[in-house]
Chain A
């Protein structure tokens, strides 16, 4: 009996000892090692995830998506954890779209603990890699910007970088609205790595959608027409703007050469530029409409006022002639505009005087950005009359000696098309800006009638016609300014016009930079204007006037 009691006692002592050891160990782990263990547990059991906000969609006026966001998968590797790089490379190379050799080089580099194998690849293929469950190969979901319409309006929409931040175009200028707010999520996992709890540490908020005034169909057609111009005349570049002169809503802002929005980085810098607002040029004869408008508004001339025009005219040290030699002639103001007479326009400008001319130039908005909601708009170069040289009034009335953007020209023409009220252009729906009266409705009407003559028989763009519609517009052929003067080989051909002439609802500006073979606005740019109008007028169901 005593033996039994002793054994029980021993057993009890043993258990007591064990219990004491366990208690000591628990105390050791719970106090001394607590910090390190807690950290390790956190890394194993708790995972903090960044939840990137879905970037807002950019749509055209009809809701057609121009830029959308979708999830993509980024594949990365930790070379330390990969036992057999050759086998891993062979397995994932076809899925990633890289050669086995390339992958093997990357995976065998033991100097790095983290390498990207492929950024933002297709989610389906990425999930296939994740399902392989290869140790040392990881995947993470990242948002990817996609442009389903390809090259359509790519210079306007812009692009985003790999970190989902806008780098150019509307993607850049509306970054705050489009981006949204990234969220944070905490996942608690069990011993098997399965998520047992998910906590939204910070709620993510999707970016706002951006609805543009652009019309994808008109934009596409305009770009196609510019493509034809590009093929025919091999210019350095071309730009076209289509807008509603009654509101200032931009229906198309096209640039040539086109750039694939999904691969902007591969395009040259010049092609990536949105020249509608970022390129300045000397407008040439398209500017004469403003010289005439100012003089008409001042009451110095009427459309029928005759001018006796010599073959050339000298202003200070500069002699201005016509593009085609002719003798002395008498032309009315309307004829001067229709035939785009340089001498006649200079004479009208001289009649207006430098101070008044300068006032009208600025009144039409030249020298200041139009305020269109696109980033990087140029203001152009326009001197104040105090800065004029002696010959300034010899070339500025004909659109030389000042630099403007195509957008500024189109905007200024809205004043003529819109009964004297100039509309500032806008690209984001609901961003319509108030109009500004620049000239009287009567003056606008007079100039508009005179511009019809440009497309009538004897005008500089008489070939440009759209069946059933009366068109009005002005051609422009400007020598490009080079060091010390003007180039005799490089030109900018342009045309700005609107239709129907008596009730304008569509305004188109075309600018072709350095066309080859032909140089005149009436030959290079006016046909492009015509083809754009041919499509857009019936498409918008604009009845003939």
Chain B
């Protein structure tokens, strides 16, 4: 219903515009009466009287000039308003009528009137309505399709979120320290005792100076890929330190370097002794906190032994629970 209204409305409106006034007959007659040209007044009057449907005729005054003017018909309603003497009526006319009757407006109407007629009455209008209807259908179908797509995407998103949560759960389960410790224990790895862990003391200024001193030109010889290492004695794997030319002690893989019997208590490492150029931080002399393979198969004495200065004294082996002593366990 609304669509029908929108189709008819322009026609009436256009016709009215073509008539040079509002679609109402009375107003059209008023506008026509305001025109200074006699015949135009007559045609406009008759067009206004016939209503919107015949308004287009008045839009082509030149064509109608060659034809014979139609006989004057009696029309109902108020008659044309005759101009009053002295042209005072023209001055008194409302502004829209004056604008519509302006020469430019008339010329514009004259030029577009034919096209408008063709558009409104021709078959192209039917095609246009058809296309519009098809478009509406298309848009609705497209909307439904998009709705389906959105729903599917949302479902897929939810599914992926679900999968992600499940994987996170699996990851957390696999990363649990209990499982890792069990796996490590099955591989023969053991936790280091606190006394086996040694800490290096950092000296920001001295360390930088030492590092700067150690910088040498890069070795030009190409680095070849390492060959498979055969279980050779420790003495055969002692390369020389390029900086000092001294043999740098490198422990073979799979051996702990801290002799079991000479374990220096943590904290007793004299600061500075570990920073001696060319001899410090020898791989193997420092046990990193982590896991060491047990049991030690061979030991290599550290290049510079960190002499225990102030040992913590003999401590009972840890991990052994003993019976109450004679001193009395009152606590």
Chain A nearest CB, measured from B190 CB (Å): 12
Cβ contact of A543, chosen from B147, B193, B266, B322, cutoff 8 A: B266
- Contact mask for chain A residues 509-545; partner B; CB cutoff 8 A; 1 contact, 0 none: 0000000001011110001001101110111010111
Chain A nearest CB, measured from B193 CB (Å): 6
CB neighbours of B199 from chain A (8 A): 541, 543-544
Determine the distance from Cα of A520 to Cα of B328 in the docked complex, in whole angstroms: 10
Chain B nearest CB, measured from A533 CB (Å): 8
B193 close to A462 (CB less than 8 A): no
Cβ contact of A65, chosen from B172, B325, B329, cutoff 8 A: B172
Residue B83 lies at the interface, judged by CB distance under 8 Å to chain A: no
Cβ contact of B331, chosen from A197, A520, A543, cutoff 8 A: A520
Cβ contact of B194, chosen from A123, A141, A197, A466, cutoff 8 A: A466
CB neighbours of A530 from chain B (8 A): 318-319
Determine the distance from Cα of A523 to Cα of B327 in the docked complex, in whole angstroms: 13
Most buried by B among A146, A224, A477: A146
B267 close to A520 (CB less than 8 A): no
B192 close to A70 (CB less than 8 A): no
Most buried by B among A324, A458, A462, A465: A465
Residue A152 lies at the interface, judged by CB distance under 8 Å to chain B: yes
Most buried by B among A197, A232, A477: A197
Residue B165 lies at the interface, judged by CB distance under 8 Å to chain A: yes
Decide: A196 near B147, CB < 8 A? Known: A216-B176, A468-B195, A534-B193.
yes
Decide: A527 near B266, CB < 8 A? Known: A68-B169, A216-B177.
no
Determine the distance from Cα of A518 to Cα of B194 in the docked complex, in whole angstroms: 27
Decide: A468 near B267, CB < 8 A? Known: A150-B178, A538-B197, A538-B289.
yes
CB neighbours of A465 from chain B (8 A): 315-316, 318
Say which one of A87-95, A267-275, A335-343 lies at the interface with B: A335-343
Determine the distance from Cα of A123 to Cα of B164 in the docked complex, in whole angstroms: 12
Most buried by A among B172, B194, B327, B331: B331
CB neighbours of A324 from chain B (8 A): 328-330
Residue A195 lies at the interface, judged by CB distance under 8 Å to chain B: yes
B150 close to A198 (CB less than 8 A): yes
Closest to A534 in B: B194
A521 close to B331 (CB less than 8 A): yes
Closest to B267 in A: A544
- Contact mask for chain B residues 148-167; partner A; CB cutoff 8 A; 1 contact, 0 none: 10111010001001100110
Cβ contact of A188, chosen from B147, B169, B193, cutoff 8 A: B147
B318 close to A534 (CB less than 8 A): yes
A64 close to B165 (CB less than 8 A): no
Residue A83 lies at the interface, judged by CB distance under 8 Å to chain B: no
The secondary-structure label for the interface of chain A is mixed
B329 close to A467 (CB less than 8 A): no
The secondary-structure label for the interface of chain B is loop
Chain B nearest CB, measured from A130 CB (Å): 12
Residues of A94-152 contacting chain B, CB below 8 A: 123, 141, 146, 148-150, 152
Residue A260 lies at the interface, judged by CB distance under 8 Å to chain B: no
Residue B111 lies at the interface, judged by CB distance under 8 Å to chain A: no
CB neighbours of A253 from chain B (8 A): none
Residue A474 lies at the interface, judged by CB distance under 8 Å to chain B: yes
Decide: A475 near B266, CB < 8 A? Known: A146-B169, A150-B178, A468-B195.
no
A-side interface size class: 35 or more
A123 close to B178 (CB less than 8 A): no
Residue B265 lies at the interface, judged by CB distance under 8 Å to chain A: yes
Residue A213 lies at the interface, judged by CB distance under 8 Å to chain B: no
A65 close to B168 (CB less than 8 A): yes
CB neighbours of B168 from chain A (8 A): 65, 68, 70
Chain B nearest CB, measured from A469 CB (Å): 7
Residue B324 lies at the interface, judged by CB distance under 8 Å to chain A: yes
CB neighbours of A373 from chain B (8 A): none
Closest to A60 in B: B177
Determine the distance from Cα of A537 to Cα of B192 in the docked complex, in whole angstroms: 11
Determine the distance from Cα of A149 to Cα of B315 in the docked complex, in whole angstroms: 36
CB neighbours of A534 from chain B (8 A): 193-194, 318-319
Residue B320 lies at the interface, judged by CB distance under 8 Å to chain A: yes
CB neighbours of B170 from chain A (8 A): 148
B151 close to A197 (CB less than 8 A): yes
Cβ contact of A195, chosen from B147, B161, B315, B330, cutoff 8 A: B147
Decide: A531 near B165, CB < 8 A? Known: A65-B172, A324-B328.
no
Residue A445 lies at the interface, judged by CB distance under 8 Å to chain B: no
Closest to B290 in A: A538
CB neighbours of B152 from chain A (8 A): 195
B147 close to A197 (CB less than 8 A): yes
Known contacts A197-B144, A322-B328, A324-B329, then 12 further A-B pairs from the complex at CB < 8 Å, ordered by chain A residue: A68-B168, A148-B171, A232-B321, A284-B331, A285-B331, A342-B330, A460-B329, A461-B331, A468-B312, A477-B331, A543-B266, A544-B194
Listed in ascending order, the chain B residues whose CB lies under 8 Å from chain A are: 144, 147-148, 150-152, 154, 158, 161-162, 165-166, 168-173, 175-178, 181, 191-195, 197, 199, 265-268, 289, 312, 315-316, 318-325, 327-331
5 A-B residue pairs with CB within 8 Å = A152-B178, A220-B178, A322-B328, A467-B193, A531-B319
